[in-house]
Structure 1
Amino acid sequence: MGLALLATSRWRRLMIAAGFPLSFALSGLASGWSAVWWLLPLVLLAVAYPVRAWSDAPLFPTGTTALDGLDELIDLPAGARVLDAGCGLGHGLQALRRVWPTAGLEGTEWSRPWRLIAALRCPWARIRQGDMWAQSWAHHDLVYLFQRPESMPRAVEKAQREMRPGSWLVSLEFEAKGLRPHARLQQPGQRPVWIYAIRETRPGTGHGPRDHDSSVDPS
């Protein structure tokens, strides 16, 4: 139980703390079960969240209103191609659709079950199963990410290498260090949104981002 205090986030602390009492309860209830049944949860976890995806962000959904106001800071044409790289269950796609209902929304998800659920929840989006790091970002007008700090340097390198001038990189919560922020948006009770105009990106240069919240006129 004390190990839970060493976790870096509230959710991880809760999961670690709950693990011991849950396993203790199951050990009594399932003392007569075959060992095969104990392996079943691990198999299901491996199918839903493959080992190859462990270096990417865990399953934390984008808030419904987290991206509201992006259209006031980013002018996308109708039919623009918008990619949610690592779309999970589709929460980010739904938040993006609130902002750009006429955009061509796409998602990439490595987990086959998550991809299937996302496709059912977002039938208006084109969602493919695959590796977001292997998929090219060159043809998208905007790429949206909700990653983890450890994978952001890889995202920065990929954006600089593949995305064309005039396109946009948007990251929920975690800053893409090395890129110059165009703006920073944060709705009440939501995580910050970092906005990068690819035409402006120069590693380590420029001033800080403009801050925006729902009570401030972006102009």
Structure 2
Amino acid sequence: MATLLVAASIYLAARWGDWRPSWLGAGLVQGLLAASIGRWLGLARWWWWLNLLFVPALLLASGAALPSWVFLAGFVLLLLINWNSAVEGVPLYLSGARCREQLLTLLAERGAEFRFVDLGCGPAGTLLYLARRFPAAQFVGVETAPLTFAIAWLRCLAQGNCRVRYQSLWRTDLSAFEVVYCFLSPAPMAALWDKARAQMKPGSWLLSNSFEVPGVPAERVIDLHDWRQSRLLLWRMGGD
């Protein structure tokens, strides 16, 4: 949207006047617009900086005599972060602030002590947020994207009731947890449901951000009212 607005402005300025912005100047304006739109949409604060700097950085890099290893390093970095997308069909999705608030409300219903696992915890933002607010509960995150795991593991070192494992969700024993949370993709949900039914104990919860189990209506659906129109879906094991 920001790029289209800037492009249209440059076109109109060239057609009806003599103003000719530099490419870098146009990129900075695009970044400011993109960051403002991101804030309006309710994106996390780090997205504002990414939106602000992405196009200017791209324009600067395009005119620089960069060595070839820089591009290889960029590819490897993206691979280390997005490994799950290539291997398991699960991109890196980050739970928003409204999802965390609803998780906080839901978990309060289970009392002070429970065991929680985040299947594909990413950089552990949600995991740490919850662990700090339920000090008597135990929180585990599993992650297989190497760099994302390293970040999550380091962030959780100082939090006594929170730990992160380098482990596939398919190798995680769900029977050890009263609450299982995931933000995956449509691809693994049917198989995850079969795994949950086989392993999770009666009364435990399976929580999914946005993605449904095919053919299995959730017991509770909570609209998060964010820009993605996300929902939090809850299935109680043994409820049938």
Contact 2:205 2:235 in 1 (8 A): yes
2:93–2:184 CA contact under 8 A, matched in 1? no
Pairwise CA distance, 1:76: 1.9
- Between the aligned partners of 2:203 and 2:225, the Cα distance in structure 1 is 29
Q: Partners of 1:78 and 1:135 in 2: how far apart?
A: 23
Q: Would the aligned equivalents of 1:83 and 1:105 in 2 still touch at CA under 8 Å?
A: yes
Measured against aligned partners, the alpha-carbon deviations of 1:3-62 in whole angstroms (never above 9, x if no partner) come to xxxxxxxxxxxxxxxx999878645423xx544333221222223333675434322211
Local SS of the residue matching 1:177 = coil
Q: Does 1:29 align with 2:29?
A: no
Report the equivalent of 1:43. 76
Q: Deviations over 1:81-134 (max 9, x none)?
A: 100010001122134347644321110010232122123333321111111111
Q: How many residue pairs were aligned?
A: 185
Find the structure with the greater CA-based Rg.
2
Which residue of 201, 205, 220 corresponds with 1:183? 220
Residue 194 of structure 2 is matched in structure 1 by 157
* 1:140-155 map, 5 Å: 140-155=177-192
Higher helix share: 2
How many percent identity over aligned positions?
29
Change (3 A) 1:29 1:71: closer
Instruction: Quote the residue 2:26 is aligned against.
Output: none
Where structure 1 has 5 or more consecutive residues not aligned to the other structure, the ranges are 1-18, 202-219
Aligned-residue CA RMSD in angstroms?
3.3
Instruction: Name whichever of 149-158 and 162-171 sits farther off.
Output: 149-158
Q: Within 2, Cα distance between the matches of 1:72 and 1:24?
A: 45
The 1:42/1:199 distance shift into structure 2, 3 A limit, reads: same
Q: TM-score, normalised by structure 2?
A: 0.64
In structure 2, runs of 5+ residues without a counterpart are 1-53
**Equivalent pair of 1:80/1:104 in contact (CA under 8 Å):** yes
Trace 1:11-22 onto structure 2 (pairs within 5 A). Answer: none
In the alignment, which of 188, 198, 201 is matched to residue 237 of structure 2?
Answer: 198
> 4+ residue runs of structure 1 moved beyond 6 angstroms?
19-25
CA distance in 2, matches of 1:51, 1:166: 30
| Alpha carbons 1:68, 1:99 under 8 Å: kept | no
Residue correspondence of structure 1 range 63-102 to structure 2 within 5 A: 63-70=96-103, 73=106, 75-97=109-131, 100-102=134-136
User: Counterparts of 2:218 and 2:79 in 1: how far apart (Å)?
Assistant: 37
**Aligned 8 A contact 1:68 1:187 in 2:** no
Letter in 2 for 1:121: R
Write the distance in 1 (CA, Å) between the matches of 2:122 and 2:239.
29
Distance 1:90 1:73, change over 3 A: closer
Q: Contact 1:48/1:112 (CA < 8 Å) preserved in 2?
A: yes
SS of 2:126's partner is helix
Partner SS for 1:161: helix
Q: Any conservation in 1 of the 2:207–2:234 contact (CA below 8 Å)? A: yes
